[in-house]
Structure 1
């Protein structure tokens, strides 16, 4: 069963919460972070993307970046921008986007659960990204990137959270520039804290990583290193990592689309011809049209959108084989375009559905990319089925929105 713990969160003073809150470090570039932080000395980007405070051209994986993050974090603590709660707490984090609400529990999840499979995974991780987070955690002695977990609904947990929100005022409540409302409650009463801990231990057999595989893996590797060097005891905070756990019924997965730099030496006509072996191919005009069902794809090539419908025989019925990302990977990216490993091949890039289909048009029309593919979103049940089967999805299969903000709650180790 899932082991979670309350913790002494590091968080902003209420009047600065909106200024501190920053988009997750891995969804924007250093240049974008620098623009968003302009004129805002409180922005958590000074910690999560600390290269913005170093000379342009600085290697973002250099020790100087991690040292700057630690320096800026300590400055925020010393000047009162951030403070640490005196007692271990849980936190309730509600997000509202386009009228849809999702409410999660911010807690410290067990590294042991991650290692043993109680926390289930559905993606492989990349060593370079793991190393980046490891260096960040070790240097700052903080987990500032939240791991987004999901679980099958437990009515008792949902009731307790809803009851707390009804009876208590939020510590933070603001609407960010992108229109997403962020509200946070602090659960600090000992009885309520114990009830939550006990409910998860009795009612939640597994949790699932929805977003944050690299953050979770890095926390595990840091804990392992500290343990091997005998730097931590059994009750040390490093044995846990920062998570927010959401009930599955409240979650929606967006599409995660692909753009490719070239046609692997093929002409447009040759590509279309080869696609017809495995797909029904129909041109649908110049206006973007998203797929409307499973096994349907939208392709943008040379100013025209095409509807691709996978023929029977291009997929299997097992949890991995039935996924549209698998169909695309096997029958187009690998078979026709020669992309064998999407994690390492520099010819392919990924575009989260939140950016819309016009982002695909922009990147192809600019000449940066040659062709784009839009996919129908994976469902949360498909994600659970794959994780339960012990399999992993192809890279960049899911995009969750809305996203948690960095800086609102951090976990010191």
Structure 2
């Protein structure tokens, strides 16, 4: 049964929260990053980009140590403050009519090991070890693992009740997203939430597979070095943001391939005919609307590809996944893409206007062919995780994307 723990978060002072909170480091362009670092001294980006202070790009162990130093400076300057008692932290994100809410907590490494916390993506051992070393050096985690649970009216009722109080933070970021955060600190309500989650058989990782795997790796290391290990130490847990299934938003990744693997256009279409009924679409942009149905852009034209279910075998949850079907029927056998993660001939795109961007890239000659899919559902994610299977890389782009630096978990 799922264990969740309150924790004493390191948080921005209330008057600085809007300045501290940052998007994921990878989301900034070079110009944006330089601007934030130059004009916002409170940004969390100063901590994770410590070389800016010295006008130098710093990497590896040296960077990890400097991240720790910048973190200590934020504490010394009271930009960050530590809560006096363990809490859960209710956090709501909203833009326009869309709102999503969940809460920060500490989840158990033991639950991860025992598959109560379920995964649907593979991790790369090198990246696991790198991030585990980073966590060990800096001593904190500022990016929670996004996890989901089956909608529960009792949890919703508690969160709605807690939202009747004034929030600790209430601000809007430049992307017009509103942010609110409340502390859940009453012993009775903390125990109530813990009891509810003890009845849940599973939590599902939506985003953050490497972060959770690295936390597990670090916990095993610290356990082996601690002769007085009890299981209650902070390193036995990692920060997570729990959100009900209905509030997870899942988007698709398009696939674009640089060449047709030596085939001419007509030869390629003939190869596709084995597994797909192919129809050329006369209208403009064309996007699929159902499972096992793909959109393809090739040589200035859109095609619909309908899977021939009489020749394709469904054997398990993975075999029914559209990203896997595309790999098994086109990407690997025809286009020769064997390593979806590392092959430089394939690229991925996501976002509201990505079909347009895919078409433009192919029209410019940057790629030869592109494929669009319908988004994978939370039901499919759970089926993969429950079966102990692994999705192909870039199967899902999941929101919400959380700001870094609002709550920090120390080891």
TM-score (norm 1): 0.91
Partners of 1:172 and 1:37 in 2: CA distance? 23
Q: Indicate which of 267, 270, 289 corresponds to 2:286.
A: 289
Shift of 1:239: 0.5
Q: Which has the larger radius of gyration?
A: 2
Aligned to 2:187: 190
Aligned to 1:208: 204
Partners of 1:143 and 1:258 in 2: CA distance? 32
CA contact (8 A) 2:64 2:137 kept: yes
Query: Structure 1 residues 183 and 361, CA, compared in 2 at 3 Å: closer, same or farther?
Result: farther
Q: Indicate which of 366, 373, 377 corresponds to 2:375.
A: 377
Q: Deviations over 1:5-34 (max 9, x none)?
A: 000111111222122111234555667644
Partners of 1:257 and 1:51 in 2: CA distance? 35
Report the more deviating stretch, 380-389 or 369-378: 369-378
Aligned to 2:307: 310
CA contact (8 A) 1:30 1:51 kept: no
Q: Deviations over 1:243-267 (max 9, x none)?
A: 0111112222111222223322233
Aligned to 1:46: 46
Query: SS of 1:15's equivalent?
Result: coil
Shift of 1:223: 0.7
Aligned to 2:14: 14
Aligned to 1:122: 120
Query: SS of 1:192's equivalent?
Result: helix
Q: Indicate which of 228, 244, 248 corresponds to 1:247.
A: 244
Shift of 1:122: 0.6
Query: Structure 1 residues 20 and 303, CA, compared in 2 at 3 Å: closer, same or farther?
Result: farther
Q: Matches of residues 145-184 of structure 1 in structure 2 within 5 Å?
A: 145-166=143-164, 168-184=165-181
Gaps of 5+ in 2: none
Q: Deviations over 1:126-160 (max 9, x none)?
A: 12321332122112101112100001122211111
CA contact (8 A) 2:331 2:337 kept: yes
Shift of 1:98: 4.7
Query: Structure 1 residues 71 and 400, CA, compared in 2 at 3 Å: closer, same or farther?
Result: same
Query: Structure 1 residues 12 and 366, CA, compared in 2 at 3 Å: closer, same or farther?
Result: farther
Partners of 1:332 and 1:274 in 2: CA distance? 9
Query: Structure 1 residues 316 and 37, CA, compared in 2 at 3 Å: closer, same or farther?
Result: farther
Report the more deviating stretch, 157-166 or 297-306: 297-306
Aligned to 1:66: 64
Report the more deviating stretch, 317-326 or 143-152: 317-326
Partners of 1:48 and 1:258 in 2: CA distance? 31
CA contact (8 A) 1:279 1:308 kept: yes
Shift of 1:281: 2.6
Report the more deviating stretch, 91-100 or 137-146: 91-100
Q: Indicate which of 294, 300, 325 corresponds to 2:323.
A: 325
TM-score (norm 2): 0.92
Gaps of 5+ in 1: none
Partners of 2:119 and 2:406 in 1: CA distance? 25
Aligned to 1:412: 410
Q: Matches of residues 232-271 of structure 1 in structure 2 within 5 Å?
A: 233-271=230-268
Q: Kindly tell me the number of residue pairs found equivalent between the two proteins.
A: 409
